Amino acid sequence: MAKTIAEYDTNVLIEGETGTGKSLLAKYISPRRDKPFVKINCSAIPEGLLEAELFGYAKGAFTGAVKDELGRVEIADGGTILLDEIGDMPLPLQAKILHLVQDKEFERLGDTKTRKANVRIIATTNKNLKELVKKGQFREDLYID
């Protein structure tokens, strides 16, 4: 199945228990092997910093933002971004990821300019997203069963 999925340039969700090699599988199925492969662990970065890590920020967006900074989405442009443990992503950020999935667009934190990013999104989770959707903890429109 992985070999078949690797032939298509589509977004993918990989579900499985911790330690089962979801990240390795993500690298294997990326057809953009000669392009950037950028990983971000959604459970390891505090909610307040995750948006800035993903989308970057504009100078003056917050104390200490002394220059414009690229986010991982921009760094991965043309390649693949791995959203590891997407089940731990806060709901407000899920809406921004949905916008990226649907329109290939995003905004840096503190900026009004809409930017484009041609990225293949591979997401992994060890959580039951269907159950999180039922509990209102994961966006139904971001999860396709």
Helix, strand, coil percent values for the chain (each to nearest 5): 35, 20, 45
Q: Where are the domains of the chain?
A: 2-134
How many residues in the chain?
Answer: 145
| Beta-carbon contacts of residue 28 (< 8 Å; ≥ 6 apart) | 2, 6
Beta-strand ranges (E) seen in 2-86 are: 12-15, 37-41, 80-84
Q: Which two tokens stand for residue 32?
A: 């953009």
Task: Kindly report the CATH number that applies to the domain delimited by 2-134.
Answer: 3.40.50.300
Q: Which two tokens stand for residue 100?
A: 């990226």
pLDDT higher than 90, residue 110: yes
pLDDT the model gives residue 4: 87
pLDDT higher than 80, residue 145: no
Q: What is the pTM of this model?
A: 0.92
